[in-house]
A = this chain, B = another copy of it.
Amino acid sequence: MKRIGVFTSGGDAPGMNACIRAVVRTALYHGIEVYGIMRGYSGMIKGEIVRLDTTSVANIVQRGGTILKSARSQKFMTKEGRQQAFDQLVNHKIEGLVAIGGNGTFTGAMKFEEEFGIPTVGAPGTIDNDLYGTDYTIGYDTAVNTALDAIDKIRDTADSHDRAFFVEVMGRDSGYIAIPCAIGGGAEIVLVPEQQQSIDTVIETLQTARKRQKSSFLIIVAEGDEEGNATIVANKVKEAIPEMDARVTVIGHIQRGGAPSAADRLLASQIGIAAVEGLVNGMRNVMAGIVDRKLVYTPFHDTIYKKKLINQGFMRMVEILSV
């Protein structure tokens, strides 16, 4: 393999740049040329492809976002779009790809490989940590720290005013972000999609705590919880306990940005190196991940269809710690 391409796709995540840097420098270390494909599959189709050298990735290890930008591409979902993408890669003599993104990204890569034979190795780049095949995804640790920092600030007000705050954190269909935020933020209650917890239980818990003279509360709500988002939950609670001074904060998009944490930079660097070395060694249709501190390549098929379960022990922790 003499020339590879790298791109980011799907929602941006802190550490994507650190991963791009690792991909570029590892390729160069192995004597392989490397090109950056802008805006994911969209730029691949349009031929927005640029040569990267070692200075292209200088001073980006600490930057949030992605220098290669990201976009969704409807066109790549069509055969015609993928044909155009393939033609662009052929024009640029690109023989293999490193795709930094999530399951949508890997699904596209699998289809592309099936039709055109271009091998791709994936890197798990998403704040949601919902990918099978790696303990942590790139961006997850940073997102949790950002959310927790916001929660620490909110607690200042909650304490000062004896209020209840319903704080909504990201995480799509999982409680991966919500749970460490609840444990680390000293929350009384956490609502996550993985576990049914009725509003009635929430109300009961709050009423019991109020009887014990507890006056300020923190309730963390994962955006995908089935009882609804933080506003819906807060309204139901306020209906049941009208004397409670309850507020809602949606932490939102700040969770996607900012300088990556140390753990995310390390993970992104490990995976970036592994992705290139995987390609060099003939791998395809696999995602590089770290499981129990060891490098593991998992077939895209598994990352897409297998579910990474959340540690059930964490739910018990919230209960014990809010005693």
Q: Which residues of A contact B (CB under 8 A)?
A: 8, 11-12, 14, 16, 18, 21-22, 25-26, 28-29, 39, 54, 58-59, 61-66, 69-71, 135, 141, 144-146, 148-150, 152-157, 159-162, 165, 180-181, 183-186, 247, 249-254, 256-263, 265-266, 269-270, 273, 292-293, 311, 313, 317, 320-323
Contact = CB atoms under 8 A, between A and B. Distances in A.
Contacts of A165: 253
Given A148-B262, A181-B262, A257 B154 contact: yes
Given A25-B321, A317-B270, A157 B65 contact: yes
Nearest to A28: B323
A157 B25 contact: no
A317 B269 contact: yes
B161 A70 contact: yes
A317 B8 CA distance: 22
B69 A161 contact: yes
Among A162, A165, A249, A269, max chain B CB count under 10 A is at A269
Nearest to A135: B293
B183 A141 contact: no
Given A18-B184, A257-B154, A323 B25 contact: yes
B157 A69 contact: no
30 contacts: A12-B157, A14-B156, A21-B321, A22-B321, A25-B321, A28-B323, A29-B323, A54-B323, A59-B186, A62-B152, A62-B186, A64-B157, A65-B155, A70-B161, A144-B262, A145-B261, A148-B262, A150-B254, A152-B259, A153-B253, A157-B256, A180-B265, A180-B266, A183-B265, A183-B269, A184-B262, A250-B252, A251-B254, A269-B321, A292-B292
Given A269-B317, A273-B321, 11 more contacts: A12-B156, A25-B321, A25-B322, A28-B323, A61-B184, A64-B153, A65-B155, A156-B256, A165-B253, A183-B266, A270-B317
Nearest to A215: B69
Nearest 4 A/B pairs, CB to CB: A153-B257, A156-B257, A184-B265, A65-B156
Nearest to A292: B292
